[in-house]
Amino acid sequence: MVLAGLVGAVLRLRGTGGKPPQNGGWRELSGDELR
């Protein structure tokens, strides 16, 4: 019970929303994309 409470507290502290990107990645915009 105490452990569940602690986990719940951490989740509240760290936030509940947000879905991590499942795949893909960051790529620098090329010069052609800024013309």
Which residues contact other proteins (rule: CB under 8 A)? Answer: 12-18, 20-21, 23-29, 31, 33-35
Q: Which residue number, 5 or 24, has a Cβ lying nearer to other proteins?
A: 24
Q: Which residue number, 1 or 12, has a Cβ lying nearer to other proteins?
A: 12
Q: How far is CA 29 from CA 10, 18, 26, in A?
A: 37, 25, 9
Q: Which residue number, 4 or 35, has a Cβ lying nearer to other proteins?
A: 35
Phi and psi dihedrals of 20, rounded to 5? -65, 145
Give me the least distance between CB of 4 and other proteins, in Å please: 19
CA atoms of 3 and 7, how far apart (whole Å): 6
